[in-house]
Amino acid sequence: MSEVPPNGKIWFDGKIVNWQEATVHVLSHVVHYGSSVFEGLRCYRTKQGSAIFRLQDHIKRLFNSAKIYRIQIPFTPEKLEQACKEIVRENHLEDAYLRPIVFRGYKTLGVDPTGTPIHVAIAALTWGKYLGDEAINIGVDVKVSSWNRLPANTMPSIAKAGSNYMNSQLIKMEAVLDGYAEGIALTMEGYVSEGSGENLFMVRDGKLYTPPISASILPGITRDSVFRIGKELGYDVIEEMIPRSLLYLADELFFTGSAAEVSPIKSVDRIPIGEGKRGPITERIQQHFFGILSGEIEDKYGWLTRI
């Protein structure tokens, strides 16, 4: 899990404040009604210095999430990009996990959010391997959740809204209590959607498959990166609805996410996937992905922003 940097600083509504001072009122709209949109992104120590991975794309998604919920962010995207770089430097971090969050603050109680003040905060933390230290090399055991992902006309999964993570919490807690590292949620129709905090890829007969946006997923930025890396390495990468049963017949499965990076899955519902360990295509994709992040493979997509 994440670690709070001692004496850390947080960017809060345009100012750098001490960690302890970045607080909200208990009657803030967000506390009662979950009115927030956020991002999670990483800064890596590359050979050429620290750099944030896909900064513009994450800030763009933050604005898109806000737009769906009629939240007017009182800063420009450029200002928030600058703030992300600034908060990593302020905390003297080289590797960091960044958490920009936009939320509705304190005015009056009641569902109607009209007129609530909009606040923006950006924290930088250290955050190790999301699914455990061994997860990246060995893979994790997961279960299909008894909870479904959100249908499109309920809570839009395209928006990275704080409230969507109540659903994620149900998926994650059930999985952990049952002895798994993570849960895979299905759509209401029984097709594979995603993990509680990750997208999912399947390898079958040398091809890569991932559920489309219509499968109630968050359109992940790591997913998009793996999509492009997969194509560059010569694989067919196909967006397709995946029935639950195909998970068990996959040659390889892996999760993608800013926090999870590229994490292999070694079993689903105690059924081993492939040989029950990280597969060769997953490993090749990981090598390329981590190669770009360390600066050892050329960043030809312009994904890294030097801080």
The amino acid sitting at 184 is I
Nearer to ligand PPE, 141 or 194 (CB): 194
Does 211 help bind ligand PPE (rule: CB under 6 A)?
no
Q: Which of 199, 263, 267, 282 binds ligand PPE (CB under 6 A)?
A: 199
Q: Which of 222, 263, 267, 282 binds ligand PPE (CB under 6 A)?
A: 222
* C-alpha span between 97 and 91 (Å, rounded): 12
Under the binding rule (CB under 6 A), the answer on residue 259 touching ligand PPE is yes
Residue (22 or 259) nearer to ligand PPE, CB? 259
Task: Give me the least distance between CB of 46 and ligand PPE, in Å please.
Answer: 19
**Between 41 and 118, CB nearer to ligand PPE:** 41
> Least distance from C-beta 275 to ligand PPE, angstroms?
26
From first CA to last CA, the distance across the chain in angstroms is 24
DSSP 8-class letter at 243: B
Catalytic residue of the set 9, 85, 160, 266: 160
CA 205 vs. chain centroid, Å, equals 28
Q: Which residues of 228-240 are buried (b: 16+ CB within 10 A; e: fewer)?
A: ebbeeeebebebe
Q: Does 142 bind ligand PPE (CB under 6 A)?
A: no
CA distance 6 to 142: 34
Alpha carbon distance 279, 150 (integer Å): 30
* Cβ-proximal residue to ligand PPE, closest one: 40
Contact code string over 228-257 relative to ligand PPE, x by CB under 6 A: ----------------------------xx
Q: Which helix (H) or strand (E) holds 199?
A: strand 199-204
Question: Shortest distance, CB of residue 175 to ligand PPE, whole angstroms?
Answer: 13
Applying the rule CB under 6 A, the residues between 32 and 51 that interact with ligand PPE are 40
Reply yes or no on whether 9 is catalytic. no
Give min distance, CB of 266 to ligand PPE, in A. Answer: 20
Selection from 178, 181, 226, 176 nearest residue 200 by Cα? 226
Q: Cα(182)–Cα(176) distance, rounded to whole angstroms? A: 7
Site string for ligand PPE, 288-307 (x = CB under 6 A): --------------------
Bridge partners of 185, per DSSP, are 194
Q: Which is closer to ligand PPE, CB of 91 or CB of 168?
A: 168
How far is 163 from 103, CA to CA, in rounded Å?
Answer: 11
**How deeply is 86 buried, as exposed, middle or buried, from its count of CB atoms within 10 A (0-12, 13-18, 19+)?**
middle
Q: Does 198 bind ligand PPE (CB under 6 A)?
A: yes
- Residues forming contacts to ligand PPE in the complex (CB under 6 A) are 40, 168, 194, 197-199, 218, 220-223, 256-260
Q: Which residues are catalytic?
A: 160
